[in-house]
């Protein structure tokens, strides 16, 4: 019962198809992908039941669910489809899914608390992904997994925001919290995001002053962009991006991380299903808002892996773009390395390099790549940057990048 593998191939065999030549999906991969389909999709339960007819290795299934942080989706999907794992595996999956749900509920409560605190202090902010996305895309807090809060603020309000977070029990966690005040202020002012931890509540928070890793990406998506309120508690709204802007951000964020975790793709597919905007219109609006190839990459993956109905014209246009094909193939390799990746404590060198340089292909043209290169050379990447004058950063970075790749950085659990 527990050993065979399905030989079902990925869809499409065009010579321009980025999936061409990749190994067939295993039975366990097909099952977790079926569970990641949006709950509202009519083809979800038949897909889960069909995938579950194959011989399933329960340990591999659990490993995939944990690696991709989709325990809630897998547990809910199997339960809805009437699929039962062996008792020990079922108990493990249920416990992990319950732990994820409790964590997300805690984050929802904390987002409400912080939204009220920032509003009372006169500080504008937006919450991204996390609990707000769970409610907007999935319709509940039962499916999605999230380990932290993503909070966007105005760069000019960084000092006030940091003071407010500290007054609410948070501490700066960058470099183990060992930065002195001068270095901490320089890091806060210069970097896209900083990590904070509330030890009492056991909550992590990423404080963002911008959403893109480089110039020209989503230039107008931020605090000035259209937004929508999400309420976990009646009368206490938590604001996030409006639907089209949220779709655009998720496409860029996921592509920037190589879509390593299926939870990002599941969230995107659920959002597409939930919003009233046609997919083709979402795609074109994302391109207009500076998503470059990221929207096409995301839609190809959602269509190929999760069965999202994307117009063929969109898929064909994506497959004709060499940069998009490169990004898609990288994502397919990373996603499907999940079963092995769970066993590794460090990323392989080629994975680290791919993720570092993938963003150079988000937008077309050498002008964008040149601007991205200068951004990377002058952006503080490590603690050592903080002790240097700004004019010395490019030389330091040129030495730091290969050292980082060769060090094979430790994966976050």
> What is the model's pLDDT at position 121?
97
Whether residue 152 is contained in a domain is answered as: yes
Q: Say how many CA atoms lie within 13 Å of 365 toward its Cβ.
A: 6
Question: Which is higher by pLDDT, 178 or 169?
Answer: 169
Query: What count of other Cβ atoms lies within 10 Å of the Cβ of residue 53?
Result: 11
Gyration radius of the chain's alpha carbons:
21
Residue range(s) defining the domain that contains residue 171: 102-242
Q: What is the 3-state secondary structure (H, E, C) of the chain?
A: CCCCCCCCCCCCCCCCCCCCCCCCCCHHHHHHHHHCCCCCCCCHHHHHHHHHCCCCCHHHHHHHHHHCCCHHHHHHHHHHHCCCCCHHHHHHHHHHHHHHHHHHHHHHHHHHHHHHHHHHCCCCEEEECHHHHHHHHHCCCCCCCCCEEEEEECHHHHHHHHHHHHHCCEEECHHHHCCCHHHHHHHHHHCCEEEEEECCCCEEEEEECCCCCCCCCCCCCCCCCCEEEEEEECCEEEEEECHHHHHHHHHHHHHHCCCCCHHHHHHHHHHHHHCCCCHHHHHHHHHHCCCCCHHHHHHHHHHHHHCCCCCHHHHHHHHCCHHHHHHHHHHHHHHCCHHHHCCCCECCHHHHHHHHHHHHHCCCCHHHHHHHHHHHHHCCCCHHHHHCCHHHHHHHHHHHHHHHHHHCCECCC
Whether residue 11 is contained in a domain is answered as: no
Whether residue 215 is contained in a domain is answered as: yes
Whether residue 89 is contained in a domain is answered as: no
Res 161 pLDDT > 90: yes
pLDDT band of 411, cuts 50, 70, 90: very low
Distance (Å, whole) CA 220 – CA 175: 31
Whether residue 261 is contained in a domain is answered as: no
304 in Cβ contact with 19 (< 8 Å): yes
- Number of structural domains in the chain: 2
- Looking at the fold, whether 235 and 355 belong to one and the same domain comes out as no
> What is the model's pLDDT at position 351?
64
> What is the model's pLDDT at position 355?
75
User: 199-252, pLDDT tens digit by residue?
Assistant: 999 999 999 998 987 778 899 999 999 999 999 999 999 999 999 999 999 999
pLDDT band of 16, cuts 50, 70, 90: confident
Q: What angle do CA 243, 283, 19 make, to 5 degrees?
A: 120
Whether residue 233 is contained in a domain is answered as: yes
- Looking at the fold, whether 107 and 222 belong to one and the same domain comes out as yes
Lowest mean pLDDT among 46-55, 138-147, 176-185, 385-394: 385-394
- Looking at the fold, whether 238 and 358 belong to one and the same domain comes out as no
- Looking at the fold, whether 238 and 357 belong to one and the same domain comes out as no
User: 85-106, pLDDT tens digit by residue?
Assistant: 999 999 999 999 999 999 999 9
- Looking at the fold, whether 238 and 351 belong to one and the same domain comes out as no
User: 20-71, pLDDT tens digit by residue?
Assistant: 766 688 999 999 999 999 998 999 999 999 999 999 999 999 999 999 999 9
Q: What number is the average pLDDT over the span 359-377?
A: 83
- Looking at the fold, whether 354 and 227 belong to one and the same domain comes out as no
pLDDT band of 7, cuts 50, 70, 90: very low
> What is the model's pLDDT at position 350?
59
- Looking at the fold, whether 238 and 106 belong to one and the same domain comes out as yes
Q: Going by C-beta distance under 8 Å and a sequence separation of 6 or more, which residues neighbour residue 346? A: 408, 409, 410, 411
- Looking at the fold, whether 229 and 352 belong to one and the same domain comes out as no
What crossing angle do the helices spanning 58-67 and 87-120 adopt, rounded to 10°? Answer: 10
Last residue of a domain, one of 191, 209, 242: 242
Residue 21, phi-psi category: left (phi > 0), alpha (psi -120 to 50), beta (remainder): left
> What is the model's pLDDT at position 19?
74
Phi, psi of 125 (to 5 degrees): -160, 160
> What is the model's pLDDT at position 6?
37
Mean residue pLDDT of the chain comes to: 86
Whether residue 177 is contained in a domain is answered as: yes
Indicate which CATH number applies to the domain containing 130.
3.30.460
Q: What number is the average pLDDT over the span 384-388?
A: 57
Distance (Å, whole) CA 351 – CA 335: 11
Res 277 pLDDT > 90: yes
Question: Which is higher by pLDDT, 410 or 264?
Answer: 264
> What is the model's pLDDT at position 5?
34
User: 116-126, pLDDT tens digit by residue?
Assistant: 999 999 999 99
Q: What number is the average pLDDT over the span 310-332?
A: 93
> What is the model's pLDDT at position 338?
62
62 in Cβ contact with 89 (< 8 Å): yes
Whether residue 63 is contained in a domain is answered as: no
Last residue of a domain, one of 242, 275, 294: 242
39 in Cβ contact with 353 (< 8 Å): no
Res 381 pLDDT > 80: no
Res 413 pLDDT > 50: no
> What is the model's pLDDT at position 385?
55
Res 345 pLDDT > 60: no
Last residue of a domain, one of 242, 272, 288: 242
> What is the model's pLDDT at position 384?
56
């Amino acid at each position: 019962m527990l050993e065979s593998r399905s030989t079902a191939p990925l869809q499409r065999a065009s010579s321009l198809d980025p999936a061409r030549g990749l190994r067939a999906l295993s039975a366990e991969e097909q099952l977790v992908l079926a569970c990641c389909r949006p709950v509202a999709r009519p083809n979800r339960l038949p897909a889960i039941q069909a995938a579950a007819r194959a011989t399933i290795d329960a340990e591999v299934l659990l490993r995939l669910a944990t690696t991709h942080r989709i325990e809630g989706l897998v547990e809910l999907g199997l339960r809805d489809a009437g699929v039962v794992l062996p008792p020990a595996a079922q108990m493990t999956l249920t416990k992990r899914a319950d732990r994820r749900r409790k964590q997300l509920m805690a984050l929802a409560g904390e987002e409400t608390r912080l939204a009220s605190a920032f509003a009372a202090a006169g500080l504008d902010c937006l919450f991204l992904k996390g609990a707000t996305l769970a409610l907007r895309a999935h319709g509940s807090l039962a499916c999605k997994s999230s380990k932290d809060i993503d909070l966007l603020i105005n760069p000019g309000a960084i000092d006030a925001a940091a003071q407010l977070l500290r007054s609410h029990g948070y501490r700066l966690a960058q470099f183990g919290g060992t930065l002195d005040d001068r270095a901490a202020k320089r890091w806060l002012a210069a970097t896209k995001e900083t990590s904070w931890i509330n030890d009492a509540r056991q909550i992590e928070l990423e404080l963002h002053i911008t959403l893109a890793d480089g110039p020209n990406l989503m230039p107008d998506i931020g605090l000035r962009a259209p937004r929508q309120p999400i309420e976990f508690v009646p009368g206490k709204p938590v604001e996030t991006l409006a639907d089209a802007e949220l779709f655009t951000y998720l496409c860029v964020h996921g592509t920037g991380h190589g879509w390593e975790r299926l939870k990002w793709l599941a969230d995107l597919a659920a959002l597409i299903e939930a919003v009233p905007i046609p997919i083709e219109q979402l795609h074109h609006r994302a391109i207009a808002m500076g998503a470059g190839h990221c929207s096409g990459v995301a839609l190809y993956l959602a269509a190929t892996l999760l069965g999202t109905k994307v117009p063929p014209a969109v898929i064909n246009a994506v497959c004709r773009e060499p940069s998009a094909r490169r990004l898609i193939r990288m994502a397919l390799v990373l996603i499907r390395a999940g079963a092995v990746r769970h066993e590794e404590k460090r990323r392989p060198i080629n994975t680290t390099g791919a993720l570092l340089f993938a963003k150079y292909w988000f937008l077309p043209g050498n002008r964008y790549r040149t601007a991205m290169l200068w951004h990377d050379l002058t952006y503080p990447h490590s603690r050592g940057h903080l002790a240097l004058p700004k004019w010395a950063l490019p030389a330091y970075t040129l030495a730091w990048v290969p050292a980082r790749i060769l060090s094979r950085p430790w994966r976050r659990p």
